Chain A
């Protein structure tokens, strides 16, 4: 197919010869990233959302999608994307697995979210504050995640769709200096995918 395209060149291009292409879309939150196309050692950066770049042919050209927008098949691909993961923060009374009064109702929200997602998977991620060494906090955050995972299992959540991980002090909810005790940063995040 590709060879025939090359042989017939411009004539076929006029009637819509099959081109491989990449379309850069805006992000779901309205921003956008970029895509670098590497072809035979040449790099082309596509940084304008709603633009299309051809992938075959000797030269990469980038054009705006224009008023026609996406093709019907491309639009179907976009609508077939699974929903973005959703994240919930849970806080616990210090040194316990007892949830704070404001966190406790989150469990039912999480349950509902899991039920609404076919093939759901859940990641329980622990976070610490900046007290202690990084290595200790990695271990602590993972232990905390394991504890809360078991708590969720005891409340009827399906073990087979859950995993635990620890982020240590890498992802502070409220940035602090090192060695600062912070109840807001000591939390467990439940990510529903």
Chain B
């Protein structure tokens, strides 16, 4: 009983700690599509929750659609490696910071609330050659 409550307490702590907070969900997943979390590689079924630090990885013909808790939306194309490097969001103020890195592949993005919070962009998309700062928009990034 004591052990059980200890474990429950630990789980509650994990659930509320920022590192493991849900930042978004997989909405569509076609072909080879996985999430890399630390040393783990897991499938990316529809409904799968994402956390900051996850990598989105697709193989040939793989695709993924995602919606984040600030309303940002991603459509990831085949042969892609994309890191969700930083995602901090306060739903009360609707301010935060979102940094993603497109190492390779392709992605369409509709920016969300983080990107509309005040003068600063709040969002950065890093590519091997350049960094993009969107300002409330829809755009495509292809890294070859």
Interface on A for B, CB 8 Å cutoff?
1-2, 18-28, 32-39, 55-57, 60, 70, 73-74, 76-82, 84-85, 117-119, 121, 123, 125, 138, 142, 163, 165-168, 170, 191, 193
Contacts and interface: CB of A to CB of B under 8 A. Distances in A.
B92 interface: yes
A118 B106 contact: no
Interface residues of B, number: 47
Nearest to B131: A38
Contacts, number: 165
B101 interface: no
A166 B93 CA distance: 9
Task: Tell me the interface secondary structure of chain B in the complex.
Answer: strand
B25 A119 contact: yes
Contact of A33 (B47, B129, B136): B136
B141 A22 contact: yes
Which residue among B22, B46, B129, B132 has the maximum number of chain A CB atoms within 10 Å of its CB?
Answer: B129
A79 B69 CA distance: 21
B110 A84 contact: yes
Contacts of B74: 81
Contact of B66 (A20, A70, A82): A82
B132 A36 contact: yes
Contact of A77 (B28, B48, B77, B91): B77
Contacts of B130: 20, 37-39, 55-56, 60
A24 B129 contact: no
Contact of A73 (B94, B106, B139): B106
Contacts of A18: 144
B143 A77 contact: no
